Amino acid sequence: MRTAPTILHLDMDAFFASVEQASKPSLRGKAVIVGGLGPRGVVATASYEARVFGVHSAMPMAQARRLAPNAAYLVPRFQLYRTISEQVMELLRALSPLVEPLSLDEAFVDLEAGGAAWDETSARLVGGRLRADIRRVTGLTGSVGLAASKMLAKIASEQAKPDGLVVIEPGTERALLGPMSVRTLPGVGPATGDHLRRAGITTVEEIAEAGEDELVRLLGKAHGHALHAMALARDERPVVAERETKSVSVEDTYDVDIHDRVRVGLEVQRLADRCVRRLRGAGLSGRTIVLKVRRYDFSTLTRSETLRGPTDDPAVVREAAGRLLESVDTTGGVRLLGVGVSGLADYTQEDLFAQAAGERGEEAEAVGEGTADDGGREQGEDVGERRWLPGHDVRHAEYGYGWVQGSGVGRVTVRFETPGSLPGRVRTFLVGDPLLVGVDSLPLVADGAPGAGSVDGVLG
Protein backbone atom coordinates (compact mmCIF):
# COMPACT_ATOMS: atom_id res chain seq x y z
CA MET A 1 0.00 0.00 0.00
CA ARG A 2 1.26 3.49 -0.81
CA THR A 3 2.71 5.81 1.82
CA ALA A 4 0.81 9.00 0.89
CA PRO A 5 -2.96 9.74 0.84
CA THR A 6 -3.09 10.10 -2.94
CA ILE A 7 -6.22 8.07 -3.71
CA LEU A 8 -9.23 10.38 -3.81
CA HIS A 9 -12.86 9.38 -3.45
CA LEU A 10 -15.51 11.89 -4.50
CA ASP A 11 -19.15 11.49 -3.48
CA MET A 12 -21.59 14.20 -4.53
CA ASP A 13 -23.89 15.26 -1.68
CA ALA A 14 -27.48 13.94 -1.99
CA PHE A 15 -26.92 14.23 -5.74
CA PHE A 16 -30.38 13.84 -7.31
CA ALA A 17 -32.09 15.88 -4.59
CA SER A 18 -29.37 18.56 -4.69
CA VAL A 19 -29.82 18.92 -8.45
CA GLU A 20 -33.55 19.41 -7.94
CA GLN A 21 -32.98 22.00 -5.21
CA ALA A 22 -30.47 23.86 -7.38
CA SER A 23 -32.87 23.97 -10.31
CA LYS A 24 -35.96 24.91 -8.27
CA PRO A 25 -35.48 28.03 -6.06
CA SER A 26 -38.64 27.33 -4.05
CA LEU A 27 -37.19 23.98 -2.84
CA ARG A 28 -33.84 25.25 -1.56
CA GLY A 29 -33.43 24.45 2.11
CA LYS A 30 -36.53 22.24 2.09
CA ALA A 31 -37.09 18.48 2.25
CA VAL A 32 -36.88 16.96 -1.23
CA ILE A 33 -37.31 13.27 -2.03
CA VAL A 34 -36.59 11.83 -5.49
CA GLY A 35 -37.71 8.39 -6.61
CA GLY A 36 -40.58 6.29 -7.89
CA LEU A 37 -43.87 7.85 -6.82
CA GLY A 38 -46.16 4.86 -7.34
CA PRO A 39 -47.32 2.55 -4.53
CA ARG A 40 -44.27 0.33 -5.09
CA GLY A 41 -41.79 3.13 -5.64
CA VAL A 42 -38.60 3.50 -3.62
CA VAL A 43 -36.53 6.51 -2.61
CA ALA A 44 -33.56 7.16 -4.90
CA THR A 45 -32.19 10.15 -2.96
CA ALA A 46 -33.36 12.27 -0.06
CA SER A 47 -32.06 15.75 0.67
CA TYR A 48 -30.37 16.33 4.00
CA GLU A 49 -33.46 18.23 5.13
CA ALA A 50 -35.53 15.08 4.46
CA ARG A 51 -33.02 12.81 6.23
CA VAL A 52 -33.78 14.61 9.47
CA PHE A 53 -37.15 12.81 9.38
CA GLY A 54 -35.50 9.42 8.92
CA VAL A 55 -35.93 9.17 5.14
CA HIS A 56 -33.09 7.42 3.30
CA SER A 57 -32.35 5.89 -0.10
CA ALA A 58 -33.89 2.48 -0.93
CA MET A 59 -36.73 3.14 1.55
CA PRO A 60 -40.24 2.36 0.24
CA MET A 61 -41.81 5.61 -0.92
CA ALA A 62 -44.96 4.90 1.07
CA GLN A 63 -42.89 4.83 4.26
CA ALA A 64 -41.12 8.06 3.27
CA ARG A 65 -44.48 9.79 2.83
CA ARG A 66 -45.49 8.76 6.34
CA LEU A 67 -42.24 10.10 7.81
CA ALA A 68 -42.14 13.34 5.80
CA PRO A 69 -45.65 14.11 4.50
CA ASN A 70 -44.82 17.74 3.69
CA ALA A 71 -41.70 17.04 1.61
CA ALA A 72 -41.54 17.67 -2.15
CA TYR A 73 -41.79 14.34 -4.00
CA LEU A 74 -40.29 14.33 -7.50
CA VAL A 75 -39.56 11.77 -10.21
CA PRO A 76 -35.93 11.46 -11.37
CA ARG A 77 -34.63 13.41 -14.37
CA PHE A 78 -31.85 11.08 -15.43
CA GLN A 79 -30.87 12.97 -18.57
CA LEU A 80 -30.07 16.07 -16.50
CA TYR A 81 -28.26 14.03 -13.85
CA ARG A 82 -26.09 12.38 -16.51
CA THR A 83 -25.21 15.76 -18.02
CA ILE A 84 -24.09 17.14 -14.67
CA SER A 85 -22.28 13.91 -13.83
CA GLU A 86 -20.26 14.19 -17.01
CA GLN A 87 -19.24 17.74 -16.08
CA VAL A 88 -17.95 16.43 -12.76
CA MET A 89 -16.16 13.47 -14.35
CA GLU A 90 -14.40 15.83 -16.76
CA LEU A 91 -13.00 17.72 -13.76
CA LEU A 92 -11.72 14.42 -12.37
CA ARG A 93 -10.15 13.38 -15.67
CA ALA A 94 -8.24 16.66 -15.70
CA LEU A 95 -6.50 15.45 -12.53
CA SER A 96 -5.53 11.95 -13.63
CA PRO A 97 -5.90 9.37 -16.40
CA LEU A 98 -7.03 6.89 -13.73
CA VAL A 99 -10.62 7.78 -12.87
CA GLU A 100 -12.95 4.96 -11.81
CA PRO A 101 -16.62 6.02 -11.85
CA LEU A 102 -18.80 3.97 -9.52
CA SER A 103 -22.08 5.71 -10.36
CA LEU A 104 -23.31 9.07 -11.63
CA ASP A 105 -22.24 10.78 -8.40
CA GLU A 106 -19.25 8.81 -7.14
CA ALA A 107 -15.71 8.02 -8.34
CA PHE A 108 -12.17 7.11 -7.32
CA VAL A 109 -9.14 9.03 -8.66
CA ASP A 110 -5.47 8.00 -8.49
CA LEU A 111 -3.77 11.37 -8.03
CA GLU A 112 -0.26 9.92 -8.29
CA ALA A 113 -0.91 8.57 -11.79
CA GLY A 114 -1.53 12.06 -13.13
CA GLY A 115 1.21 13.72 -11.08
CA ALA A 116 -1.42 15.90 -9.40
CA ALA A 117 -0.35 14.91 -5.88
CA TRP A 118 2.54 13.03 -4.27
CA ASP A 119 2.18 13.73 -0.54
CA GLU A 120 -0.41 14.81 2.02
CA THR A 121 0.03 18.53 1.43
CA SER A 122 -0.38 18.36 -2.34
CA ALA A 123 -3.32 15.94 -1.99
CA ARG A 124 -5.14 18.33 0.36
CA LEU A 125 -4.63 21.19 -2.10
CA VAL A 126 -5.99 19.11 -4.99
CA GLY A 127 -9.00 17.99 -2.97
CA GLY A 128 -9.86 21.53 -1.92
CA ARG A 129 -9.46 22.86 -5.45
CA LEU A 130 -11.66 20.07 -6.83
CA ARG A 131 -14.49 20.90 -4.43
CA ALA A 132 -14.29 24.57 -5.44
CA ASP A 133 -14.29 23.68 -9.16
CA ILE A 134 -17.35 21.42 -8.74
CA ARG A 135 -19.24 24.22 -7.05
CA ARG A 136 -18.19 26.70 -9.74
CA VAL A 137 -19.12 24.46 -12.67
CA THR A 138 -22.30 22.83 -11.34
CA GLY A 139 -23.41 24.90 -8.36
CA LEU A 140 -23.42 21.67 -6.30
CA THR A 141 -21.30 20.31 -3.45
CA GLY A 142 -19.28 17.15 -3.18
CA SER A 143 -17.45 15.45 -0.31
CA VAL A 144 -13.85 14.31 -0.76
CA GLY A 145 -11.93 11.57 1.04
CA LEU A 146 -8.16 11.13 0.67
CA ALA A 147 -6.22 8.08 1.82
CA ALA A 148 -3.61 5.54 0.78
CA SER A 149 -6.22 3.00 -0.42
CA LYS A 150 -9.64 2.89 -2.04
CA MET A 151 -11.34 1.44 1.03
CA LEU A 152 -10.00 4.16 3.31
CA ALA A 153 -10.66 6.97 0.81
CA LYS A 154 -14.32 5.94 0.68
CA ILE A 155 -14.54 5.83 4.46
CA ALA A 156 -12.97 9.29 4.57
CA SER A 157 -15.52 10.75 2.15
CA GLU A 158 -18.34 9.36 4.31
CA GLN A 159 -16.85 11.12 7.29
CA ALA A 160 -16.56 14.32 5.23
CA LYS A 161 -20.28 14.53 4.41
CA PRO A 162 -21.79 16.87 3.66
CA ASP A 163 -19.59 19.29 1.73
CA GLY A 164 -16.28 18.49 3.42
CA LEU A 165 -12.81 17.02 2.99
CA VAL A 166 -11.21 14.39 5.23
CA VAL A 167 -7.68 12.98 4.96
CA ILE A 168 -6.71 9.69 6.61
CA GLU A 169 -3.00 9.94 7.27
CA PRO A 170 -0.94 6.80 6.65
CA GLY A 171 -0.12 5.12 9.95
CA THR A 172 -3.42 6.04 11.59
CA GLU A 173 -5.61 3.54 9.73
CA ARG A 174 -5.76 0.73 12.32
CA ALA A 175 -6.71 3.07 15.16
CA LEU A 176 -9.42 4.65 12.99
CA LEU A 177 -10.91 1.37 11.76
CA GLY A 178 -10.80 -0.58 15.03
CA PRO A 179 -14.01 0.66 16.72
CA MET A 180 -16.02 0.83 13.49
CA SER A 181 -18.80 -1.62 12.67
CA VAL A 182 -17.95 -4.62 10.50
CA ARG A 183 -20.46 -3.20 7.99
CA THR A 184 -17.92 -0.45 7.26
CA LEU A 185 -15.75 -2.85 5.27
CA PRO A 186 -16.42 -3.51 1.55
CA GLY A 187 -18.22 -6.78 0.97
CA VAL A 188 -19.91 -6.93 4.39
CA GLY A 189 -23.63 -6.67 3.76
CA PRO A 190 -26.54 -7.55 6.04
CA ALA A 191 -26.12 -11.33 5.66
CA THR A 192 -22.36 -11.38 6.30
CA GLY A 193 -22.78 -8.87 9.12
CA ASP A 194 -25.36 -11.10 10.83
CA HIS A 195 -23.14 -14.15 10.35
CA LEU A 196 -20.22 -12.36 12.03
CA ARG A 197 -22.43 -11.02 14.82
CA ARG A 198 -23.58 -14.55 15.68
CA ALA A 199 -19.89 -15.44 16.02
CA GLY A 200 -19.44 -12.53 18.43
CA ILE A 201 -17.71 -10.25 15.92
CA THR A 202 -19.21 -6.77 15.60
CA THR A 203 -16.25 -4.38 15.11
CA VAL A 204 -13.35 -4.19 12.68
CA GLU A 205 -10.88 -4.70 15.54
CA GLU A 206 -12.64 -7.94 16.46
CA ILE A 207 -12.24 -9.13 12.86
CA ALA A 208 -8.50 -8.46 13.11
CA GLU A 209 -8.30 -10.25 16.47
CA ALA A 210 -10.25 -13.28 15.23
CA GLY A 211 -7.45 -14.12 12.82
CA GLU A 212 -7.48 -15.20 9.20
CA ASP A 213 -8.04 -18.92 9.89
CA GLU A 214 -11.22 -18.23 11.86
CA LEU A 215 -12.57 -15.89 9.19
CA VAL A 216 -11.85 -18.46 6.47
CA ARG A 217 -13.74 -21.03 8.53
CA LEU A 218 -16.70 -18.67 8.94
CA LEU A 219 -16.84 -17.12 5.47
CA GLY A 220 -14.80 -19.23 3.08
CA LYS A 221 -11.28 -18.81 1.78
CA ALA A 222 -11.62 -15.86 -0.60
CA HIS A 223 -14.00 -13.77 1.51
CA GLY A 224 -12.29 -14.57 4.81
CA HIS A 225 -8.82 -13.75 3.49
CA ALA A 226 -9.95 -10.46 1.92
CA LEU A 227 -11.89 -9.36 5.00
CA HIS A 228 -9.00 -10.03 7.37
CA ALA A 229 -6.65 -8.03 5.15
CA MET A 230 -9.04 -5.07 5.07
CA ALA A 231 -9.46 -5.18 8.86
CA LEU A 232 -5.68 -4.72 9.01
CA ALA A 233 -6.09 -1.70 6.65
CA ARG A 234 -4.51 -3.61 3.76
CA ASP A 235 -6.21 -2.81 0.46
CA GLU A 236 -4.15 -3.12 -2.70
CA ARG A 237 -7.00 -2.70 -5.18
CA PRO A 238 -5.92 -0.31 -7.95
CA VAL A 239 -8.01 2.49 -9.39
CA VAL A 240 -9.30 1.13 -12.71
CA ALA A 241 -10.07 3.69 -15.39
CA GLU A 242 -13.55 3.83 -16.95
CA ARG A 243 -15.27 0.57 -16.15
CA GLU A 244 -16.58 -0.96 -19.34
CA THR A 245 -20.34 -0.90 -19.67
CA LYS A 246 -21.49 -4.50 -19.83
CA SER A 247 -25.11 -3.92 -20.81
CA VAL A 248 -27.86 -1.38 -21.38
CA SER A 249 -31.31 -2.03 -19.99
CA VAL A 250 -34.60 -0.47 -18.96
CA GLU A 251 -37.29 -1.80 -16.67
CA ASP A 252 -40.64 -0.77 -15.23
CA THR A 253 -42.28 -1.73 -11.95
CA TYR A 254 -46.07 -1.61 -12.17
CA ASP A 255 -48.36 -0.21 -9.50
CA VAL A 256 -50.79 -3.08 -10.07
CA ASP A 257 -49.82 -6.57 -11.28
CA ILE A 258 -50.47 -7.08 -15.00
CA HIS A 259 -52.52 -10.18 -15.73
CA ASP A 260 -53.48 -9.59 -19.35
CA ARG A 261 -51.01 -11.45 -21.59
CA VAL A 262 -51.61 -9.04 -24.47
CA ARG A 263 -50.79 -6.06 -22.22
CA VAL A 264 -47.62 -7.82 -21.05
CA GLY A 265 -46.57 -8.24 -24.68
CA LEU A 266 -47.23 -4.59 -25.48
CA GLU A 267 -45.20 -3.50 -22.44
CA VAL A 268 -42.27 -5.65 -23.57
CA GLN A 269 -42.40 -4.06 -27.04
CA ARG A 270 -42.44 -0.58 -25.50
CA LEU A 271 -39.49 -1.43 -23.25
CA ALA A 272 -37.56 -2.80 -26.22
CA ASP A 273 -37.99 0.51 -28.03
CA ARG A 274 -36.84 2.46 -24.97
CA CYS A 275 -33.81 0.22 -24.60
CA VAL A 276 -32.81 0.77 -28.21
CA ARG A 277 -33.10 4.54 -27.79
CA ARG A 278 -30.65 4.33 -24.88
CA LEU A 279 -28.41 2.01 -26.87
CA ARG A 280 -28.28 4.38 -29.82
CA GLY A 281 -27.83 7.36 -27.53
CA ALA A 282 -24.64 5.74 -26.24
CA GLY A 283 -23.46 4.92 -29.78
CA LEU A 284 -23.58 1.19 -29.06
CA SER A 285 -25.14 -2.00 -30.37
CA GLY A 286 -25.38 -5.48 -28.87
CA ARG A 287 -25.67 -9.18 -29.64
CA THR A 288 -27.57 -10.54 -26.64
CA ILE A 289 -31.18 -9.57 -25.92
CA VAL A 290 -32.31 -10.10 -22.32
CA LEU A 291 -35.84 -10.22 -20.91
CA LYS A 292 -36.45 -9.85 -17.17
CA VAL A 293 -39.80 -10.78 -15.59
CA ARG A 294 -40.64 -10.45 -11.89
CA ARG A 295 -43.85 -12.30 -11.15
CA TYR A 296 -46.60 -11.71 -8.59
CA ASP A 297 -44.77 -13.91 -6.02
CA PHE A 298 -41.51 -11.88 -6.40
CA SER A 299 -39.78 -14.70 -8.28
CA THR A 300 -37.56 -13.21 -10.99
CA LEU A 301 -36.85 -14.90 -14.32
CA THR A 302 -34.30 -13.80 -16.90
CA ARG A 303 -34.22 -15.17 -20.46
CA SER A 304 -31.68 -14.28 -23.14
CA GLU A 305 -31.11 -14.83 -26.83
CA THR A 306 -27.82 -14.24 -28.64
CA LEU A 307 -27.98 -12.94 -32.21
CA ARG A 308 -25.48 -13.63 -35.00
CA GLY A 309 -24.08 -10.12 -34.72
CA PRO A 310 -24.59 -6.80 -32.93
CA THR A 311 -27.65 -4.69 -33.70
CA ASP A 312 -29.33 -1.45 -32.66
CA ASP A 313 -32.42 -2.07 -34.78
CA PRO A 314 -35.64 -1.72 -32.75
CA ALA A 315 -37.51 -4.27 -34.88
CA VAL A 316 -34.86 -6.91 -34.21
CA VAL A 317 -34.81 -6.23 -30.47
CA ARG A 318 -38.63 -6.22 -30.28
CA GLU A 319 -38.85 -9.50 -32.15
CA ALA A 320 -36.22 -11.19 -29.96
CA ALA A 321 -37.84 -9.91 -26.74
CA GLY A 322 -41.20 -11.21 -27.95
CA ARG A 323 -39.74 -14.65 -28.60
CA LEU A 324 -38.24 -14.69 -25.10
CA LEU A 325 -41.59 -13.78 -23.57
CA GLU A 326 -43.16 -16.87 -25.16
CA SER A 327 -41.07 -19.06 -22.84
CA VAL A 328 -42.21 -17.31 -19.64
CA ASP A 329 -45.34 -18.22 -17.70
CA THR A 330 -47.01 -14.98 -16.58
CA THR A 331 -50.05 -16.67 -15.02
CA GLY A 332 -50.82 -15.00 -11.72
CA GLY A 333 -49.56 -11.59 -12.80
CA VAL A 334 -46.42 -9.60 -13.48
CA ARG A 335 -45.10 -6.81 -11.25
CA LEU A 336 -41.90 -5.89 -13.17
CA LEU A 337 -40.67 -6.19 -16.75
CA GLY A 338 -37.28 -5.31 -18.19
CA VAL A 339 -35.50 -5.50 -21.54
CA GLY A 340 -31.73 -5.27 -21.90
CA VAL A 341 -29.00 -5.65 -24.49
CA SER A 342 -25.53 -7.00 -23.65
CA GLY A 343 -22.52 -8.15 -25.64
CA LEU A 344 -22.00 -4.53 -26.61
CA ALA A 345 -20.06 -3.19 -29.57
CA ASP A 346 -19.61 0.17 -31.25
CA TYR A 347 -20.80 -1.08 -34.64
CA THR A 348 -23.91 -2.80 -36.04
CA GLN A 349 -24.57 -5.67 -38.40
CA GLU A 350 -27.22 -4.83 -40.92
CA ASP A 351 -28.58 -8.22 -41.99
CA LEU A 352 -30.29 -9.28 -38.78
CA PHE A 353 -33.94 -8.73 -39.68
CA ALA A 354 -36.16 -11.58 -38.49
CA GLN A 355 -33.18 -13.78 -37.89
CA ALA A 356 -33.80 -17.04 -36.19
CA ALA A 357 -32.32 -17.43 -32.91
CA GLY A 358 -29.07 -17.87 -31.36
CA GLU A 359 -28.78 -19.50 -28.02
CA ARG A 360 -31.35 -19.09 -25.32
CA GLY A 361 -30.01 -18.45 -21.87
CA GLU A 362 -31.00 -20.06 -18.61
CA GLU A 363 -32.62 -18.31 -15.72
CA ALA A 364 -30.44 -15.75 -13.96
CA GLU A 365 -30.91 -13.15 -11.29
CA ALA A 366 -29.44 -10.15 -13.11
CA VAL A 367 -28.19 -8.87 -16.45
CA GLY A 368 -24.72 -8.27 -15.01
CA GLU A 369 -22.32 -5.68 -13.66
CA GLY A 370 -22.36 -2.31 -15.34
CA THR A 371 -26.05 -2.46 -16.21
CA ALA A 372 -27.53 0.95 -16.94
CA ASP A 373 -31.08 1.03 -15.70
CA ASP A 374 -33.72 3.60 -16.54
CA GLY A 375 -35.91 2.76 -13.78
CA GLY A 376 -39.63 2.69 -13.23
CA ARG A 377 -43.02 4.01 -14.26
CA GLU A 378 -44.06 7.11 -12.43
CA GLN A 379 -47.40 8.58 -11.56
CA GLY A 380 -48.55 11.48 -13.69
CA GLU A 381 -51.54 12.73 -15.59
CA ASP A 382 -51.75 11.29 -19.13
CA VAL A 383 -53.24 13.18 -22.04
CA GLY A 384 -52.51 11.37 -25.28
CA GLU A 385 -48.72 11.08 -25.32
CA ARG A 386 -48.17 13.82 -22.75
CA ARG A 387 -47.44 12.88 -19.13
CA TRP A 388 -47.18 15.57 -16.48
CA LEU A 389 -44.64 14.17 -14.03
CA PRO A 390 -43.84 15.97 -10.74
CA GLY A 391 -40.53 17.81 -11.10
CA HIS A 392 -40.32 17.84 -14.88
CA ASP A 393 -39.79 21.11 -16.77
CA VAL A 394 -42.48 22.80 -18.82
CA ARG A 395 -43.00 26.02 -20.75
CA HIS A 396 -46.19 28.03 -21.03
CA ALA A 397 -46.64 30.40 -23.95
CA GLU A 398 -47.74 33.20 -21.62
CA TYR A 399 -45.99 32.52 -18.30
CA GLY A 400 -42.66 31.08 -19.46
CA TYR A 401 -40.63 28.26 -17.88
CA GLY A 402 -41.62 26.28 -14.80
CA TRP A 403 -41.93 22.79 -13.39
CA VAL A 404 -44.77 20.42 -12.59
CA GLN A 405 -45.71 20.33 -8.92
CA GLY A 406 -48.47 17.78 -9.41
CA SER A 407 -51.35 16.63 -11.57
CA GLY A 408 -54.66 14.83 -11.31
CA VAL A 409 -58.40 15.00 -12.02
CA GLY A 410 -57.72 16.75 -15.30
CA ARG A 411 -55.52 19.52 -13.86
CA VAL A 412 -51.78 20.17 -13.76
CA THR A 413 -50.17 22.54 -11.25
CA VAL A 414 -47.02 24.40 -12.33
CA ARG A 415 -44.61 26.59 -10.38
CA PHE A 416 -43.05 29.17 -12.69
CA GLU A 417 -39.38 29.64 -11.81
CA THR A 418 -35.95 28.83 -13.24
CA PRO A 419 -32.58 27.98 -11.64
CA GLY A 420 -31.53 31.64 -11.62
CA SER A 421 -34.83 33.23 -10.61
CA LEU A 422 -36.51 33.98 -7.31
CA PRO A 423 -39.12 31.46 -6.04
CA GLY A 424 -42.02 31.66 -8.47
CA ARG A 425 -45.79 31.66 -8.49
CA VAL A 426 -47.99 28.58 -8.79
CA ARG A 427 -50.70 28.28 -11.43
CA THR A 428 -53.10 25.50 -12.39
CA PHE A 429 -54.15 24.52 -15.92
CA LEU A 430 -56.22 21.91 -17.68
CA VAL A 431 -53.94 19.01 -18.57
CA GLY A 432 -54.79 19.50 -22.25
CA ASP A 433 -53.91 23.22 -22.31
CA PRO A 434 -52.35 23.74 -25.76
CA LEU A 435 -50.16 26.56 -24.43
CA LEU A 436 -48.34 24.22 -22.01
CA VAL A 437 -45.60 21.90 -23.28
CA GLY A 438 -42.86 19.79 -21.74
CA VAL A 439 -39.27 20.87 -22.41
CA ASP A 440 -35.74 19.66 -21.79
CA SER A 441 -34.26 20.54 -18.41
CA LEU A 442 -32.77 24.00 -18.01
CA PRO A 443 -29.04 24.14 -17.15
CA LEU A 444 -28.16 24.78 -13.51
CA VAL A 445 -25.36 27.18 -14.41
CA ALA A 446 -25.62 29.04 -17.72
CA ASP A 447 -23.62 31.73 -19.48
CA GLY A 448 -25.22 35.11 -19.01
CA ALA A 449 -28.39 35.09 -16.97
CA PRO A 450 -28.54 32.01 -14.71
CA GLY A 451 -31.07 29.49 -15.87
CA ALA A 452 -31.46 31.27 -19.21
CA GLY A 453 -29.66 28.75 -21.39
CA SER A 454 -31.23 27.73 -24.67
CA VAL A 455 -33.92 25.07 -24.38
CA ASP A 456 -34.61 22.86 -27.33
CA GLY A 457 -36.49 19.64 -27.87
CA VAL A 458 -40.12 20.16 -26.92
CA LEU A 459 -41.33 16.94 -25.32
CA GLY A 460 -45.03 17.62 -25.06
| Catalytic choice (20, 49, 100, 106) | 106
Report whether the peptide linkage leading into residue 162 is cis, meaning its omega lies within 30 degrees of zero: yes
- Establish whether 173 is a catalytic residue: no
- 280 CB-side CA count, 13 A: 11
DSSP labels for 292-318? EEEETTS-EEEEEEEEEEEE--HHHHH
- 3-state SS assignment for residue 191: helix
Q: 10 Å Cβ neighbour count for 48?
A: 17
Say if residues 47 and 15 touch (Cβ distance below 8 Å): no
Give the ranges where 68-165 is alpha helix by DSSP (H).
Answer: 78-93, 120-138, 150-160
Bridge partner residues of 426 (DSSP)? 415
Please give the DSSP secondary-structure letter assigned to residue 455: -
**Which regions of 165-299 does DSSP assign to beta strands (E)?**
165-167, 247-258, 285-295
Which residues on neighbouring strands pair with residue 144, listed in sequence order?
A: 10, 165
CB contact burial 364-396 (16+ within 10 A = b; e otherwise) = eeebeeebbebbbbbbbbeeeebbbbbbbbbbb
Active site positions, annotated:
106
